[in-house]
Chain A
Amino acid sequence: MNHDDIRELLHAYADGELDLINAREVEQHLQSCDNCRREAEQIRALREALAADSLAYCAPRRLRRNVRAALRREAKTSDKGFSLWLIFATGAACAAILFGFVFFQTTRLSRDNTIVDQVIANHVRSLLATHLVDVASSDQHTVKPWFDGKIDFAPDVHDFSMSGFPLVGGRLDYLDGKTVVALVYQRNKHPINIFISPVPGSGDSAPASSSSRGYNIVSWTHREMRYWAVSDLNETELRQFVGLVTR
């Protein structure tokens, strides 16, 4: 990236909206470019001035009261119209449940395949949208607490830099209708996504490999957590990585 490209990214950099790779490029550029460094400093100073004193207005108590009262009135008047609406809604809901049941039965067999497809789609999307990580850090003590309060389970986060698989960061993703943890590692130039999701009550299962559309996927279950590791890395190295994670 040249100077002008970087300049456009300075705000996104200050807002922590850049993925790790772009953030690194900006940081490197800042070391050598006085103009950009000055501009980054001005953005930082302005953000500080805006955050220094709480500028945000709070809703007046009167407004809070009025809103609640108006909502209560609204809830009462909509009762009558609501009953008719409810009859329709009940009918529609029954139809939806029936349809859902049939749909579920017919799709259950292909379910495992669709999860593999979703895992790959998530992996590819994370690379395309410059949205590889929400928390960019190679420090497991930064990445792990970031998930606190965002999800109701605590994933194990370890950095494997010493073995050649540095931790890049983490983010939340969506898989099979659930919010899952995505941890991102890197092997040379190949990013690896690991998706983690709790499956209460399930037994452990050994890592199993599959591949699709040029991506390798290894999935396993350990201590009631389901893992999917996906990368364009070759199977041997991905297996080596999985060996580190499951150790």
Chain B
Amino acid sequence: MFRLTESSRLSEFERKVLPHLDAAYNLARFLMRNEQDAEDVVQEASLRAFRFFESFRGENSRAWFLRIVRNTSFTVLKKNRPDEMNVAFDEELHGGQTPAMDAGAALDRAQDRQTVRAAIEQLPPEFREAITLRELEGASYKEIADIAGVPIGTVMSRLARARHQLQIILSKPK
């Protein structure tokens, strides 16, 4: 009987949480910036999520799971790469004011996938997180706030600054 209960818990978890494995990996991949660490983080976060599945109240399973993934990622980053956590993007160094460019044309250069991915990876972790969730996962401000554990106003300002920095990085000649 207990075996049955446990396996039904597993199948419920597989049904509700595992569909978000791509989103989880995508977030971890941009936060950790390499495949191996991203896989480790997602594996660890999946187990953690399964252990705490009782605490899931049936609201938004994607946000719930991604919150665990981002917390696991930041824990690993802080432990293994503390120097990366403190590197703030120097807006002055990277050109200060957004160049008055013809936005459409200047960004054409950036169309290829690797260039844009590499540009996102140059951002500080919290900004990578905001951009990934908003632009790649289509999360609302409210969801991002829930996942990152910050107020909506912070989400708004992180997104604004992250986009500003991306514009600077992408409009630079290679």
Please, which residue of chain A has its CB at the minimum distance from the CB of B137? A56
Tally of A-B residue pairs with Cβ under 8 A? 125
Are A43 and B163 in touch, CB under 8 angstroms? yes
Q: How many angstroms from the CA of A62 to the CA of B101 in the assembled complex? A: 43
Which of B21, B29, B113, B170 is within 8 Å of A67, CB to CB? B21
Which of A56, A64, A70 is within 8 Å of B136, CB to CB? A56
Are A58 and B10 in touch, CB under 8 angstroms? no
1/0 per position for A229-242, CB-CB distance to B under 8 A?
A: 00000000000000
Task: For the complex formed, measure the closest distance between the CB of B117 and the CB atoms of chain A, giving whole angstroms.
Answer: 6
Q: How many angstroms from the CA of A70 to the CA of B5 in the assembled complex? A: 18
Q: Is B73 at the interface (CB under 8 A from chain A)?
A: no
Q: List residues of chain B with CB within 8 A of the CB of A59.
A: 21-22, 24-26, 42
Q: List residues of chain B with CB within 8 A of the CB of A75.
A: 6-7, 9-10, 50
Q: How many angstroms from the CA of A70 to the CA of B50 in the assembled complex? A: 10
Q: Is B47 at the interface (CB under 8 A from chain A)?
A: yes
Beyond A17-B141, A53-B113, is A58–B103 a contact (Cβ under 8 Å)?
no
Q: Is A97 at the interface (CB under 8 A from chain B)?
A: no
Q: Is A163 at the interface (CB under 8 A from chain B)?
A: no
Please, which residue of chain B has its CB at the minimum distance from the CB of A41? B103
1/0 per position for B118-141, CB-CB distance to A under 8 A?
A: 001000000000010011110011
Which of A12, A43, A67, A74 is within 8 Å of B51, CB to CB? A74
Are A71 and B24 in touch, CB under 8 angstroms? no
Q: A interface, how many residues as a size bin?
A: 35 or more
Task: For the complex formed, measure the closest distance between the CB of B60 and the CB atoms of chain A, giving whole angstroms.
Answer: 12
Interface of A is mostly: helix
- From residue 13 to 48 of chain B, which have CB atoms closer than 8 A to chain A? 13-14, 18, 21-26, 29-30, 35, 38-39, 42-43, 46-47
Q: List residues of chain A with CB within 8 A of the CB of B30.
A: 57
1/0 per position for A33-64, CB-CB distance to B under 8 A?
A: 00000100111111111111111111110111
Please, which residue of chain B has its CB at the minimum distance from the CB of A9? B156
Please, which residue of chain B has its CB at the minimum distance from the CB of A83? B2
Are A79 and B3 in touch, CB under 8 angstroms? yes
Q: What are the 7 tightest A-B residue pairs by CB atom distance, in nearest-first order?
A: A45-B103, A59-B25, A42-B103, A50-B135, A56-B136, A57-B29, A49-B107
Residues of chain A at the chain B interface (Cβ within 8 Å): 8, 11-12, 15, 17, 38, 41-60, 62-64, 66-68, 70-72, 74-76, 78-79, 82-83, 86
Given contacts A67-B43, A82-B6, 11 further A-B contacts (CB under 8 A): A8-B156, A15-B141, A41-B103, A43-B163, A46-B170, A49-B111, A49-B170, A50-B136, A53-B116, A67-B21, A70-B47
